[in-house]
Amino acid sequence: MSITNTFTKSFANELMQGVHVFSVPSGSSSSADTFKLALFTSSASLDDDTDKYESSLAGEVSQSGDYKTGGVDLTATTKIDGDSVLISFNDLSLKNATYTARGALVYNASKGNKSVMCLDFGSDKGGGGQTFEIAFPNLSHNKAMIRLSY
C-alpha cells in the first residue's frame, strides 16, 4: 500500500465547479465549509483516485487522545497575493497520540466527505503518547497548500 502527496482528481474537477467553499467575505450570510484531516497508517492506499473519505477506508489510525475517528477539524485560511490565490489550514497539535501515522486525507465534511488532497509524511510519525503535530505553510507567494495563479 502507499500514500501519495497529491490533490485528488475529483477535487480538481469540483474546484472548477465551485463545490468547495474555503472562506467567505466578512459579513456574509453564508459560511465556509467544514474541512477535516483523517490520519492513516502505512497500510492505507491514498492517491489521486481517492474521491472521498469513508469510514471503510483501510488504514485509518485508531481513536486516541485528541484524535477522533473520522478526523479532526481544519480551518482554511485564504489570501490574495499579487496574481495568486493562496489557501492553507491551521496547524494541528493532537495530544496523547498513541498511534503511528504515515499520511493523511484532507476532505470536505460539508460536501459529502469529498476529498481534497492526500498527504504523505515521508515516514511513520507519532506514537508513544506524545503530541502529534502537523504544520501547514503560512501563506506567502511561494508557500501555501493550494496556490492558484491567474
How many angstroms separate the Cα of 1 from the Cα of each of 46, 47, 88, 102?
8, 10, 27, 11
- By CB neighbour count within 10 A (0-12 exposed, 13-18 middle, 19+ buried), where does 28 fall? exposed
For residues 83-109, average pLDDT = 95
147 found inside a domain? no
For residues 91-96, average pLDDT = 96
77 found inside a domain? yes
The pLDDT, as a whole number, for residue 24 is: 86
| Interval 16-42: pLDDT, tens | 999 999 998 788 888 999 999 999 999
The pLDDT, as a whole number, for residue 87 is: 94
* pLDDT exceeds cutoff 80 at 127: no
110 found inside a domain? yes
Domain count, the chain: 1
150 found inside a domain? no
Containing structural domain, residue 14: 6-142
55 found inside a domain? yes
149 found inside a domain? no
1 found inside a domain? no
For residue 142, the tally of other CB atoms under 10 A from its CB is 9
69 found inside a domain? yes
